[in-house]
Amino acid sequence: MIAVDALWTFSLMVGLLTLTPGLDTALVLRTAGLGHRRRAWGVVLGIQSGTLVWGVLTSLGVTALLTASHLAYETLRWAGAAYLLWMGGRLLWTSWRRSVAECPKTDGTGAEVRSGARADNTVLGGWRQGITTNLLNPKMGAFYVAVLPQFIPAGAPHLTAGVLLTGVHILLAVIWACALIAFAHVLRDRLQRPSARRFLDRVTGTAIAVFGLRLAFGE
């Protein structure tokens, strides 16, 4: 159905895209770094659910309407930018409000952070965050419209071939997410300290807000 050399070329392209530091990497690292392993996997599943949706819609030709319609693209772009700015701003505001005086006295192990965060450590909550972030990024749709059809052979079933290629992208992204979560798990004791959590929230919040600004004002 799909030539081996075309499959390898596509795998290399989406593999490099996956390894490039971006919004997905920031979300997974921040969530896993705070000890929210369930939520981190939820974020991964949500992001890849969004990727699958983009792949299916592109295979069916639906996302071509997104790039063809200036209004549709701009509406999704501004909605995505607003969501990212809100998410980044919330992280920054929370980190600035949090101070050592507001935190319970601890032995520096971050046990209180883990105890207070259990309510947020859910797969469903992470999934909602991941899929919302992915689907509100019109550049994902534009990327798939520009790349995916080039690797679908003439005469091949578009939906089947498109889902197969999207599955390759998802597999590589999940492998990379496993490495990120494992790395964060190794550093979990340091990252769960109140001071480290504030620093991580500020770095992640700034990164997400920058992505939102680039989405809003970029070409």
93-131 pLDDT tens trace: 877 776 544 555 444 444 444 444 555 679 999 999 999
Burial tier of 201 (Cβ tally within 10 Å: 0-12, 13-18, 19+): buried
Q: How far apart are CA 124 and CA 100, in angstroms?
A: 31
Give residue 94's domain range.
4-217
pLDDT value for 141: 81
Q: How far apart are CA 2 and CA 83, in angstroms?
A: 37
pTM of the predicted model, to two decimals? Answer: 0.79
Q: What is the arithmetic mean of pLDDT over 154-181?
A: 92
Structurally, how many domains does the chain consist of?
1
Strands (E) in 50-121, as ranges, are: none
Q: How far is CA 194 from CA 79, 104, 114, 203, in A?
A: 32, 10, 10, 14
Task: Please count the residues of the chain.
Answer: 219
Q: What percent of the chain is modeled with pLDDT above 90?
A: 27
pLDDT value for 171: 96
Token pair, residue 86, equals 């809100």
Q: Given pLDDT bands bounded at 50, 70 and 90, which one contains residue 22? A: confident
- The SS3 call for residue 72 is helix
Nearest partner of 178 among 3, 57, 43, 61, judged by Cα? 43
pLDDT value for 126: 93
pLDDT value for 52: 95
- Name the more confident of 170 and 96: 170
